[in-house]
Amino acid sequence: MTVEAAIGTNWTISPEFVFTDAEREALESSLDSITANPYRLYDAHRFQVGQLIASGAVPERFRAYVDSLATRDRTAEPVVVLKNVPYDHDVPVFDFDQPVRSKYELKKTFIAEGFLALFALLANTPAIGYVNVNDGDVFQDIYPQRRLQESQSQKALKQIHFHKDLANHFVRPDQVYMVGMRSNPVNEVYTSFVRNIDVIASFTEEELTLLRSPEFYTPFDDLSTMGGGRVQLGEADMHPIIGGRGPEDLRFFENRTVGVTDAAKAIVPKVAATLHALKQRVFIEPGDFVITYNNHTIHAKEVVNVGDPEALQSRWIIKTVNVDDMTPHQEHLVPGTDHLING
């Protein structure tokens, strides 16, 4: 689908690939045989996943589907949903105060991490970690933490407004990969998406001229600044809402991006209202795999109804952030690593 054809059409998000139970169980068994802990020995874990791929353990049907994504028009179709993917079943609930430390102690299998690493290798989209996020872990959690429950980060308990991951970081991911681990349907918690092109199509040329001017400011994300980061990022720069990293780029964090001129201040509420008018909601279940092409869509976590507050505290998605090519980011790597960003 071309961009021109996509604009104004009824874009819908629906599952594109579903593992059979036999495929999933066989691949789970293979991933469970990997011995390297991805949090302590990431390079070894990634190497072992590569060996698993070389052994022929990946279903050919799935390999062909992943290959097809290389020619996908991300602008027109920026979200992918797969169902029934391998993941770890029956993992204990983590401590609300220290969920990451608790994960290190309680999680004894690494099937979801292995699947994320496997997908990245098949798609040739390297995963990256950030020194300021979970001390550089490549595999991160969308999982609430008491201290950050009111933040606008992946450790928030309730809503996270529309945003892109690390939109004003000097290394912005091209993809976000997510595996659903635990969610209770009694809690209506959705991940909502809007395409950049639909936002742009909603404004007049005069408004677009304003939105393309560097008259807006967005502070750095909470996780990079509130999570005990070791690298000081300084002050975020002024930026346009549309453009900057390409004509269809959208850089906006709902309720955080502000205008610095009267005209810019006046248009920010319309951007937010437009996002909510266009959004599509996805309920991420255990075993769902969701791809967000981070430069072509904007997303939010919406908590519509809470039927079980305790279960909300243990809602869990494992994710990685990935890039198409490490070459442009070499100057930002921690020396001696090929995946860890110094910031």
pLDDT value of residue 222: 57
pLDDT at 4: 43
- As a whole number, mean pLDDT of residues 198-211 equals 98
Q: How far is it, in rounded angstroms, from Cα 203 to Cα 271?
A: 9
Q: How confident is the model at residue 229 (pLDDT cuts 50, 70, 90)?
A: low
* Exposed e or buried b per residue across 3-14, where buried means at least 16 C-beta atoms within 10 angstroms of its C-beta: eeebeeeebebe
Alpha-carbon span 27 to 22, nearest angstrom: 9
Closest CA to 151 of 223, 235, 233, 230: 223
> What is the radius of gyration, based on Cα positions, of the chain?
20
Strand order in the sheet with 297-305: 160-163, 297-305, 188-195, 280-282
d(CA 276, CA 79): 17
Query: Distance (Å, rounded) from C-alpha 129 to C-alpha 108?
Result: 21
Tell me the C-alpha distance between 335 and 331, whole Å. Answer: 9
Q: How confident is the model at residue 284 (pLDDT cuts 50, 70, 90)?
A: very high
Q: Which two tokens stand for residue 125?
A: 């989209």
Identity at 113, one-letter amino acid code: E
Q: How does the average pLDDT of the chain come out, rounded?
A: 93
User: Helix H segments across 158-261?
Assistant: 196-200, 205-211, 222-226
d(CA 131, CA 334) in angstroms, rounded, equals: 8
Of the candidate ranges 125-134, 175-184, 224-233, 236-245, the one whose mean pLDDT is the lowest:
224-233
pTM: 0.92
CATH of domain 12-187+284-341: 3.60.130.10
3-class SS at 245?
Answer: coil
Beta-carbon contacts of residue 277 (< 8 Å; ≥ 6 apart): 202
pLDDT of residue 87: 98
Measured CA to CA, the distance from residue 56 to residue 54 in angstroms comes to 5
pLDDT (tens digit, 9 = 90+) per residue, 63-92?
999 999 999 999 999 999 999 999 999 999
Q: Which residues contact 115 (CB under 8 A, 6 or more apart)?
A: 27, 31, 85, 86, 87, 179, 289
Higher pLDDT, 105 or 234: 105
Query: Is the pLDDT reported for residue 297 higher than 60?
Result: yes
Q: Average the pLDDT over 109-113 and give the result.
A: 98
What are φ and ψ of residue 312, in 5° steps? -60, -35
Query: Kind and range of the H or E element at 318?
Result: strand 316-322
Q: Which residues contact 79 (CB under 8 A, 6 or more apart)?
A: 13, 193, 280, 282, 290, 291, 292, 293, 297
Looking up tokens 């529309």 gives 162
Classify residue 155 as left (phi > 0), alpha (psi -120 to 50) or beta. Answer: alpha
Q: What is the mean pLDDT of residues 124-133?
A: 95
